[in-house]
């Protein structure tokens, strides 16, 4: 779908202005940040408050460097983005781990002016679920081994051994079974 088709669809839902579009972006669970070439934050969606712990009114107008100095953004995050790495994980001072996707958006082909669009997705819940899955998998493996051992014992229940060497042989066979 091209941009003109999208604009026509948006107009059907009374999304006619940039302000309307920004209101739509504010509904996103992910935080969205736009900064200019000078690294000044010019827009932050409402979700940035939940993810960063700072109000968007506080963040908008600050430079990325100021946010680094205040601990909201790690310096290595910006270095990775500057090197062209557009997808990184970052732990914010709030303890939230965010998967950040950033890209430079050229605004005008006649100038070197651009905006950087960054999407911050909170991934703590996903990490917790992955940890739970690993724990359930570990328990499942443990119970599976126990079940195999129990099945082996029941298969050997009818065997009577009179010597110590035969008892040891039966134990070995149970483990192998």
Q: Does pTM top 0.85 for this prediction?
A: no
Mean pLDDT along residues 97-115: 77
Average pLDDT over residues 13-32: 86
Q: b/e map of 89-125 (b: 16 or more CB within 10 Å)? A: ebebebebbbebebeeeeeeeeeeeebbebbbbbbee
Lowest mean pLDDT among 24-33, 82-91, 138-147: 82-91
> CA-CA distance, 13 to 111, in Å (whole number)?
34
Task: Clarify whether residues 21 and 77 are in a common domain.
Answer: yes
110 and 135 share one domain: no
pLDDT tens for 53-92 read 889 899 999 988 888 788 776 555 555 555 555 666 666 6
Question: Reduced to 3 states, what is the DSSP secondary structure of residue 63?
Answer: strand
**What span, in angstroms and rounded, lies between the C-alpha atoms of 9 and 70?**
41
Question: Do residue 23 and residue 69 come from a single domain?
Answer: yes
Query: Are 83 and 37 in the same domain?
Result: yes
**Nearest by Cα to 47 from 28, 74, 67, 21:** 28
Domains: count for the chain: 2
- At which of 100, 122, 144 does a domain end? 122
Banded model confidence at residue 139, pLDDT cuts 50, 70, 90: very high
Residue 46 has pLDDT above 90, yes or no: yes
Count of beta carbons in the 10 Å neighbourhood of residue 31: 26
Same domain, residue pair 146 and 59: no
**pLDDT for position 64:** 81
- Tell me, yes or no, whether 96 and 143 share the same domain: no
DSSP reduced 3-state for 66: helix
Give the pLDDT score at 120: 85
Q: For residue 36, what are the contacts with CB-CB under 8 A and spacing of at least 6? A: 42, 113, 114, 115, 116
Same domain for 48 and 134?
A: no
Answer yes or no: do 60 and 8 share one domain. Answer: yes
Q: Identify the CATH number of the domain in which residue 47 sits.
A: 3.30.450.20
Domain, as residue range, for 150: 129-176
């Amino acid at each position: 779908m091209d941009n003109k088709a999208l604009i026509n669809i948006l107009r059907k839902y009374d999304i006619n202005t940039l302000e309307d579009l920004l209101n739509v972006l504010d509904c996103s669970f992910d935080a969205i940040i736009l900064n200019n070439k000078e690294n000044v934050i010019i827009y932050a969606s409402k979700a940035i408050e939940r993810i960063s712990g700072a109000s968007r009114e506080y963040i908008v107008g600050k430079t990325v460097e100021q946010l680094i100095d205040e601990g909201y953004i790690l310096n290595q995050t910006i270095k990775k983005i500057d090197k062209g790495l557009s997808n990184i994980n970052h732990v914010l001072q709030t303890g939230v781990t965010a998967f950040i996707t950033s890209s430079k958006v050229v605004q005008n082909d006649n100038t070197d002016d651009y905006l950087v669009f960054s999407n911050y997705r909170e991934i703590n819940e996903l990490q917790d679920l992955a940890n739970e899955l690993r724990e359930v998998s570990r328990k499942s493996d443990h119970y599976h081994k126990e079940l195999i051992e129990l099945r082996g014992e029941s298969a050997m229940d009818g065997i009577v051994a009179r010597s110590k060497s035969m008892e040891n042989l039966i134990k070995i066979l149970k483990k192998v079974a």
